[in-house]
Amino acid sequence: MHIVVFVIDLPSGSSAMSAAEETAVSSISRTITEANGLHAAVEQLSGVDKTSKQYVYLEEMLTRLLLRLDGVDTSGNERIRMMRKDAIVSIQAILDQLELKALAA
């Protein structure tokens, strides 16, 4: 089984992160953790179609994670923006994998 693992590259430098930046990093980190758990569930999924409860649940939860990331304010910080973007791309890849599993059923 392959699990997507995200590494959080926190902004570095002499200045400390603002409260808004810390909130953004924390939100992205929580979202990534949840995405990893859902990815494991998608990996174990087999023989389902798009109308099954499992499929609908996983699709809904992954979509909610994308919506959560849409609400993250990067405060103009490029590293936080890239963390957010990478998380979005990875969650979209998990959604694609979920859809492929349903099509194969």
Distance (Å, whole) CA 81 – CA 92: 17
Answer whether residue 27 shows pLDDT above 90. yes
Q: Where are the domains of the chain?
A: 19-104
pLDDT digits (tens, 9 = 90+) for 66-85: 999 999 999 899 999 999 99
Q: Choose between 31 and 1: higher pLDDT.
A: 31
Identity of residue 93: A
Mean pLDDT, the chain, whole residue set: 88
pLDDT at 57 over 90: yes
- CATH number for the region 19-104 comes to 1.20.58.120
